[in-house]
Amino acid sequence: MKKSLKSLPHYTGTPPTHSRKGSGSSLVSNSSLNSYSSNHIAEEELASENLWQTWGRIVNEWDNFKKKPNNVKELVRKGIPNPFRGLAWQLLLNVHDSPAKEQYVEYLKKTSPSEKLIRRDIARTFPDHAFFKEKDGLGQESLFNVMKAYSLHDREVGYCQGSGFIVGLLLMQMPEEEAFAVLVTLMQEYRLRELFKPSMAELGLCMYQLECLIQELLPDLHLHFQTQGFHTSMYASSWFLTLFATSLPLSLACRVMDLFISEGMEIIFRIGMSILQMSQEKLMSLDMEGMLKFFQKTVPAIYEQDQDTLNKFCLFVIYLSIYLSI
C-alpha cells in the first residue's frame, strides 16, 4: 500500500508504456475525463446505495476482507461512508492492538517542553468547526492531549503546527487513544515524520518531485509559474504537511485521508496534479498574488459549493491513478 514515488516512470528512468500527456499541455484531455465521468457517474451513484452495506460487512468481517487488499483498495477509492470511517481507518492501519494506546495513557501524566506552543496553536486548528471552536472545550483539550503525547513519543520531531490539522481530522472520527495510535502509525510507517523533522529536507524533496511532475506533464503551467516567480512551496507545502486538510473542505479532506491510508504518499501527488490540471486555465490568467488567493480561497470554495465538481474531482483522481499506472 505504501509505495515510493520512485515507482513513477519519470523517476525510475524507464519509459512509460504510453504517453502521459494529453493534447497540448494537458495532463489528461477534458474529453477523456468527460467520457470517463459519463460512463461511471451512474455506476458510482448505484454503487453508493450499497456502500453502507458493504462497509458494514467489511468492518464486521475484517479478517476475511484484509486478505483481499486489491478489492479493499477499490472500495476505498469509491469512498468510505462517514459513520464507518474511524473504524475503517484503524482496521486499514492495523492499530486495534497497538501498544501506542497504553503509551498514550503514560504520556498524559508527563509534561512536554512543547506545551506552550501547542496551547498557542490550538485555537487556530479548525477554528470554525463546532468540535474545536470552544476555548478549553472537549475538542481543544483532546487535540492538546494528542499533540502533547506525540511530542513526548517522538522527541526528534516534537511538535509541528501542521500536524495539528491531521490530528484534528482524526479526532473528528475517533477517541483520543485511537487517534494517537493512528497518528503514530502514519508518522512512522507512512514517513510523515520525515516531513516534520526540523530540517524539513523531505518536504523540500517532495516540492522538487512535484515541480518535476508539473514540468513534465503540465509544461505550459510550469512556464507560467516560473515567469511569475511562483514557487511550488508557496502553494503546495500545506498539501503535504496537512494532507490537504487546510486546502480542501472537510468532506473532501476525509476522502483524501481514506486514499492516503490505502495508497500512501503518492496519492498526495496525484491529488495535487488533479487540482492543477482542473485549474490550469484559470491559473494561466492570474499573477502571483491572484494565484496565492486562488489556492487559499477559491479552491476550497469550488469543491465546497459544487457537488458536481467534487464528484468530478474524485473521479479524476481515480482516473489519474489508472492513467499513470501507479
> DSSP string of 287-325?
-HHHHHHIIIIIHHHHHHH-HHHHHHHHHHHHHHHHHTT
**152 occurs within a structural domain:** yes
Domain limit, last residue, from 156, 180, 196: 196
Of 51-55, 112-116, 213-217, least confident by mean pLDDT is 51-55
36 grid coordinates = 470517463
Q: What is the mean pLDDT of residues 285-290?
A: 97
Mean pLDDT of 113-120: 94
Mean pLDDT of 82-87: 95
| pLDDT reading at 154 higher than 60 | yes
Residue 303 has a pLDDT of 78
Alpha carbons 50 and 79: distance in angstroms, whole number: 12
Q: Say whether both 244 and 182 belong to one domain.
A: no
Helix axes 69-78, 30-60, angle to 10 degrees: 120
The last residue of a domain, from among 169, 196, 223:
196
CATH number at residue 179: 1.10.8.270
Domain check: are 189 and 169 in the same one?
yes
The lowest-confidence range among 13-17, 228-232, 308-312, 322-326 is 13-17
Question: Among residues of the chain, what percentage have pLDDT more than 70?
Answer: 78
* Residue 24 domain-assigned (yes or no): no
Domain extent for 209 = 201-322
Q: Look at residues 276, 271, 282, 258 and name the one whose alpha carbon lies nearest to residue 320.
A: 271
Residues 183 and 211 occupy one common structural domain: no
Position 27 in a domain: no
Per-residue pLDDT tens over the stretch 134-153 = 998 999 999 999 999 999 99
Q: Do residue 205 and residue 132 come from a single domain?
A: no
**Residue 88 domain flag:** no
Query: Does residue 12 lie in a domain region?
Result: no
Locate 50 and state its grid cell.
450499497
Q: What is the pLDDT of residue 305?
A: 66
pLDDT tens track for 21-75 = 333 445 555 554 454 444 444 445 445 558 889 999 999 999 999 899 889 998 9
Number of domains in the chain: 2
pLDDT of residue 301: 86
- C-alpha to C-alpha distances, 227 to 213, 287, 320, nearest whole angstrom: 18, 9, 27
CA 55 to chain centre: 21
Q: Where are the alpha helices (DSSP H) in 232-306?
A: 233-241, 250-263, 266-283, 288-293, 299-305
If asked whether residues 260 and 148 sit together in one domain, one would say: no
The answer to the question of residue 294 being in a domain is: yes
206 and 185 housed in the same domain: no
Q: Which residues contact 279 (CB under 8 A, 6 or more apart)?
A: 294, 299
User: For residue 310, is it within any domain?
Assistant: yes
The pLDDT assigned to 94 comes to: 94
Confidence of residue 6 (pLDDT cuts 50, 70, 90): very low
Q: What is the pLDDT of residues 254-285, one digit of tens each?
A: 999 999 999 999 999 999 998 999 899 999 99
Residue at which a domain ends, from 196, 219, 248 = 196
pLDDT higher than 70, residue 92: yes
Q: What pLDDT, on a 0 to 100 scale, did the predictor assign at position 49?
A: 56
CB 1 within 8 A of CB 264: yes
Residue 128 and residue 228 in one domain? no
Q: What is the C-alpha separation between 33 and 159, in angstroms, rounded?
A: 41
Give the mean pLDDT of the chain. 84
The pLDDT of residue 50 is 83
Confidence tier at 302 by pLDDT (50, 70, 90): confident
Q: Which three cell numbers stand for residue 168?
A: 484534528
Residue 44 belongs to a domain: no
Once rounded to an integer, what is the mean pLDDT over residues 304-326? 59
Residue 308 pLDDT exceeds 90: no
Residue 304: the pLDDT is: 77
Q: Could you tell me if 126 and 233 lie in one domain?
A: no
Pairwise pLDDT comparison (40 vs 13), residue with the higher score:
40
Do 264 and 3 touch, CB atoms closer than 8 A? yes
Do 159 and 190 fall into the same domain?
Answer: yes
**Are 113 and 192 in a shared domain?**
yes
Do residue 169 and residue 241 come from a single domain?
Answer: no
Q: Are 206 and 314 members of one domain?
A: yes
Residues 9, 61: Cα–Cα separation, whole Å: 37
Residue 201: burial class (beta carbons within 10 Å; 0-12, 13-18, 19+):
exposed
CATH code, domain carrying 287? 1.10.472.80
Cα–Cα distance measured from residue 112 to residue 127, given in angstroms and rounded to the nearest whole number: 24
